[in-house]
Amino acid sequence: MTEITRPTLIIDKEICLQNIERMAKKAEKHKLRLRPHFKTHQAAKVGEWFKQFGISQITVSSVSMAEYFASNGWSDITLAFPLNILEISRINRLADSIKLNVLVENREAAEVLALKASKKIGVFLKIDTGYNRTGIPAGRTGRIDSILDILSKNSKLTFKGFLTHTGHTYTARSTNEIFSSHFDALLKLKQLRNRYQKNYPGMELSMGDTPSASICGNFDGVDELRPGNFVFYDLTQHKLGVCEISDIAVKVVCPVVAKHVSRNEIVIYGGAVHLSKDTLQNTDGKELYGRVIINHDGEKVLLDTKNYLTRLSQEHGIIKVTPANFKLINVGDLVEIIPVHSCLTANILGHMITSEGEFIEMMPKY
Amino acid sequence: MTEITRPTLIIDKEICLQNIERMAKKAEKHKLRLRPHFKTHQAAKVGEWFKQFGISQITVSSVSMAEYFASNGWSDITLAFPLNILEISRINRLADSIKLNVLVENREAAEVLALKASKKIGVFLKIDTGYNRTGIPAGRTGRIDSILDILSKNSKLTFKGFLTHTGHTYTARSTNEIFSSHFDALLKLKQLRNRYQKNYPGMELSMGDTPSASICGNFDGVDELRPGNFVFYDLTQHKLGVCEISDIAVKVVCPVVAKHVSRNEIVIYGGAVHLSKDTLQNTDGKELYGRVIINHDGEKVLLDTKNYLTRLSQEHGIIKVTPANFKLINVGDLVEIIPVHSCLTANILGHMITSEGEFIEMMPKY
C-alpha cells in the first residue's frame, strides 16, 4: 500500500475466498450447481481461487472471454449472451476444444446456428422473466417451440434448458422486492419445465443474479446458479441489502492531490478512467460515485455517507467531506474508494493487485 | 467494416485530420501555440497525425501518459494535472529526458517539488476560473505569491505562467454561455498577467477546453491553447453546438443480437465496457447513451433522436427505435453508435481501427 503512487485496484483475496465459499456452500445446500460468472473479474488468477471450492464450470459474457478462460484451462463454459451470429466461426472453434453452451432467443440466430454449427454445442433458451432487457418472454411458448424445432435440424445441437437473468432485482427498493422478483422468475421457469420436461428429460433451469443468489432461500426446481458480482460485491449490492461493507473485496486506492476548504472538497487522482461512471443515489439525494476510507492514526476508517465521491472527470475525482474530516485528509495521502459497480471498475482498470502485493492481470481488451 | 464481428471503435482518419487542421489554422490565426491534449486518443499513431500541422508540443493528464508519449518521440510535454507528489521520482526521470512542465496549485505540492526536483522542470500554476473542480481561485494572489516564493527556492524550477481549464463550458446551455465563460476566464487570466508579468516577463497564459477553443474568437493575451477532444469530437460537443455530426470522427460498430417488437427495442452487443456510461439528456428527457447509424439500401443513415441507445449493461446495449425503423434493423446487422463522450469510449476500448482498416493500439493500462 505504501508503494502505491497512482490509482490502483486492490483486491482482498481473503474476502474473495470467503465470498466464494459462502456461495459454494449455499449452492451445495440447495443442490445447485454453481457456475459463477467470470465477467466480474476477467482474470485467470482469480478464476483459480474458485477451484478449491469444486468449481469447474463457468459462465462468461463474450466469445473473447470464453476463449481467454478456455486458454486458461476452463473446459466447460456457458456463454451467457444472446448468440452473436457474426462470431459463429469462433464459436465452432471453441466448441471443438471445450464443452460450450450458448444462448438463443430468436429464430434468426437459431437458424444460423442450425445451419453452421459444426461441433457439439449445448443451447440454452434465454427467457425474460421480467427484466425486459432481452430474452423470450416466459409465456411465449409458440416462439420457444419454433426455435426448438429449428435447433432440432442440426444433430450437433443439444437443447440444455432455460436460462434467465433476473436483473430487475438490481432496481429493487427493498429486499422484499428481490424475494418477490426471484420467486416470480422461479414460477415462470417451473411452468416451462412442466411443459417441456417430458420431451426433453435432460433439460435444466439456470438462474443467477447476485442479489437473489445472495439472499433468497428458495431454488426449488432450479439446477444451476450463475452469479458473478458476489466474488467482489460493491456499493450497489450493499445498498440493495445483500452484502455487508466488510464483504466488499475491491477498493481503488487513490492519491490526494488538492484540497479546497471553501467547498470542503478533496481532489484525488482517480477519475472516470479508473472508477467508471456508475452511480448510486446518496442519502442526500445526490449522485455518489464511491465511498471513502481514510487512514487515521494508523487505522483505516470508513467515512459515513456525508463524505463521498461526488464528481468524476477523466482523471480527477472530487470527494465532498465534512469540515472535521477535511482536516484529516492531506495532499499526498492515499485514500481508498469503494466502487459503486465492481465489475465495471475492474474492467476499466484492466489489472489488480492483491492485498498481499500480487499483480493480477486481466484478459486483454482484444 | 464487413469483417467486424464484435464491438469495435472505428476512427475516421480524414475527419481527424480536418479537425486538427481547422484547430491548427485557428491557433495560427490568433498567434497561439497549439499544444493539444492527447488524453482523448492516447495513441502514438494518432499523435503522429498532428505532426504534419507543425505540432511538436503536447499536453497529457498523467505521468504514465507522459512516459508513453515521451517514449514515442514527444519531447515537450505539459502534464496538466495537479502535481501528484507521490510520483515525484518518475517526474524527475521524465524531466531528465524531455522538456517537462507540471502543474502546481497548493503549497504542499510546491514544497515537495522545491525539495525534490532534481532536473529542470517548468511549473504552471493551475488557476480556477470558475469551473470549481480544482485550481487556485483566480483572485487568490496571496496563495499564488506564497507558492511562487516556495518554488523560487529550487533553481531547477522555472515558473512558466498560469494555466486554466474552463471546464464549465461543458455545462453551457447555449453557445452564448460558452462565450461568456470563456471571456470571463480570459479576463481573470489577463489580470494575473498584469500583476505578475513585470517580475516574470517570460510567463505565459494557457487555456484550452474544446468548446471555447472551437467557437470563441477572442484569445487576446493568451499564448497557448490545449484542447483535446476536438480531434474526435462527440455527441456532447455536438449538443453544445461546437461541432457538426459530420465532424465526429469515432463510432463504435456493434452487432445486433436481438429484437423486441413489443417494446420497439433492438439489442446490440455493445455495453458499458465498450461505450462507457456517460449520458446526455435526449429530446424526450430520457438518458441517451449514443445515437445510431444504420445501413439502409447500401447507404449509411443517421437515425433521428427518436431512435437512440437508451440503456447499457455490461455487454448489452438497448436501442429504442420507431416502428418504421424497427423493421429496417435485423439480427446480424452491424449498427454504428456515435458516442456521448469519445475520450472515455476510446479509453475503455483500448484500441481502434481506422476506416482504412489500420489497427491502432493505445497506451497500455499500466
> By percentage, how much of chain A surpasses pLDDT 90?
97
- Does B290 reach chain A within 8 Å, measured CB to CB? no
Q: Is the pLDDT score of A212 beyond 80?
A: yes
Q: Which three cell numbers stand for residue B280?
A: 446526455
Average pLDDT, chain A: 96
Chain A residues near residue B6 by CB distance under 8 angstroms: 62-64, 84, 86-87
CA-nearest residue to A61 within chain B is B315
Give per-residue pLDDT as tens, A289-334.
999 999 999 999 999 999 999 999 999 999 999 999 999 999 999 9
Task: Please indicate if any CB of chain A lies within 8 Å of the CB of B361.
Answer: no
Rounded CA separation B250/B282 (Å): 20
pLDDT at B366 over 90: no
Q: Is the CA virtual torsion A242, A247, A248, A254 positive or negative?
A: positive
Nearest of A142, A242, A230 to residue A182 by alpha carbon: A242
Inter-chain contact A257–B109, Cβ cutoff 8 Å?
yes
Q: Which residue has the cell 453508435?
A: B337
The residues, any chain, with a CB within 8 Å of residue A125's CB and separated by 6 or more, are: A103, A104, A105, A136, A144, A147, A148, A159, A161, A162, A163
- Determine contact: B344 vs chain A, CB below 8 A: yes
| pLDDT at residue B2 in the model | 59
C-alpha to C-alpha distance for A124 and A105, rounded to whole angstroms? 9
Give per-residue pLDDT as tens, A76-109: 999 999 999 999 999 999 999 999 999 999 999 9
* pTM (predicted TM-score): 0.96
Distance from A29 to chain B by nearest Cα, in Å? Answer: 30
Tell me if B255 and A86 make a contact (CB, 8 A cut-off).
yes
Cβ distance of A6 and B63 shorter than 8 Å: yes
pLDDT tens by residue, B72-81: 999 999 999 9
pLDDT reading at B1 higher than 60: no
* Per-residue pLDDT, A95: 98
Q: What's the pLDDT score for residue B106?
A: 97
pLDDT value of residue A365: 80
CB contact under 8 A, B269 and A349: no
Query: What's the rounded mean pLDDT across residues A1-21?
Result: 93
Asked if A84 lies within 8 A of B258 by C-beta distance, the reply is: no
User: Domain segments of chain A: what residues?
Assistant: 13-236, 245-361
Query: Domain A13-236, CATH 3.40.50.1000 — does that match?
Result: no
Q: Classify domain A245-361 by CATH architecture.
A: Beta Barrel (2.40)
Question: Which pLDDT band holds residue A2 (cuts at 50, 70, 90)?
Answer: low
* Grid coordinates of B100: 517537462
Rounded-to-integer distance, Cα B19 and Cα B21, Å: 5
ipTM score of complex: 0.95
Q: Which residue in the set B61, B64, B260 is minimally distant from A314, CB to CB?
A: B61
Q: Would the CB atoms of A62 and B318 count as touching at under 8 Å?
A: no
Any idea of the CA torsion for B142, B143, B148, B150, to the nearest 10 degrees? 120
Q: How far is A311 from chain B (nearest CA, A)?
A: 9
Mean pLDDT (chain B) is 96
As a whole number of angstroms, the distance between CA A67 and CA A56 comes to: 16
pLDDT tens by residue, A156-196: 999 999 999 999 999 999 999 999 999 999 999 999 999 99
Residues 185-244 of A with CB under 8 A from B: none
Contact B83 A257 (CB under 8 A): yes
User: Is CATH 3.50.50.60 what the domain over B13-234 is classified as, yes or no?
Assistant: no
A89 φ, ψ (degrees, to nearest 5):
-65, -45
Distance CA A115, CA A104 (A): 14
How many A/B residue pairs have CB atoms within 8 Å?
Answer: 166
Q: Does A62 touch chain B (CB under 8 A)?
A: yes
Rounded distance between C-alpha atoms, residue B145 and residue A274, angstroms: 34
pLDDT at A12: 98
> pLDDT band at B152, cuts 50/70/90?
very high
- B221 within 8 A of B329, measured Cβ to Cβ: no
**Are A85 and B332 inside 8 Å of each other by CB?**
yes
Determine which helix (DSSP H) or strand (DSSP E) holds A300, and give its type and residue range: strand A299-302
**Coil, strand, or helix at residue A158?**
strand
For the cut 60, the answer to whether the pLDDT of residue B34 exceeds it is: yes
- A261 CB within 8 Å of a chain B CB: no
Residue B21 has pLDDT above 90, yes or no: yes
A312 touches chain B (CB under 8 A): no
B17 near A CB under 8 A: no
Residue among B87, B316, B331 whose CB faces A85 most closely: B331
Across A136-148, average pLDDT: 97
Alpha-carbon distances of A326 from A283, A306, B180, B206, B209, rounded to whole Å: 20, 12, 33, 30, 30
Strand, coil or helix: B348: helix
Closest residue, chain A, to B350 (C-alpha): A365
Identify any residues that bridge with A81 across adjacent strands, giving them in sequence order.
Answer: none
Is residue B353 predicted with pLDDT exceeding 70? Answer: yes
Cβ of residue B37 closer than 8 Å to a chain A Cβ? no
What does the pLDDT look like over B54-63, one tens digit per residue? 999 999 999 9
Q: How far apart are CA B177 and CA B166, in angstroms?
A: 12
- Using the beta-carbon criterion (under 8 Å), do A365 and B350 form an inter-chain contact? yes
Cβ–Cβ below 8 Å for A133 and B5: no
Interface test with B, best of A40, A41, A84 (most B CBs within 10 A): A84
pLDDT at A1: 57
Query: CA-to-CA distance for A346 and B305, rounded, in angstroms?
Result: 32
Residues in B closer than 8 angstroms to A315, CB to CB, are: 39, 61-62, 81
Quick check: B263 contacting A, CB < 8 Å?
A: yes
Q: Please write the tens of the pLDDT for every residue from B85-122.
A: 999 999 999 999 999 999 999 999 999 999 999 999 99
Cell numbers of B229, please? 477532444
For the segment A16-67, what is each residue's pLDDT rounded down to a tens digit? 999 999 999 999 999 999 999 999 999 999 999 999 999 999 999 999 999 9
8 Å CB contact between B36 and B27? no
Asked whether the beta carbons of B247 and B19 are under 8 A apart, the reply is yes
Angstrom CA distances, A322 to A72, A166, A305, A308, B160, stand at: 47, 38, 10, 10, 35
pLDDT in tens, A237-288: 999 999 999 999 999 999 999 999 999 999 999 999 999 999 999 999 999 9
With an 8 Å Cβ cutoff, are B259 and A106 in contact? Answer: yes
- Chain B's closest residue to A110, CA to CA, is B331
**Cβ-Cβ contacts under 8 Å for A11 (sequence gap 6 or more):** A46, A232, A249, A250, A352, A353, A354, A355, A360
Q: Do A5 and B86 touch (CB under 8 A)?
A: yes
Length of chain A as a residue count: 366
pLDDT of B362 higher than 60: yes
Closest by Cβ to A365, choosing from B137, B316, B349: B349
pLDDT in tens, B307-319: 999 999 999 999 9
d(CA A257, CA A327): 14
CA distance A72 to chain B (A): 22
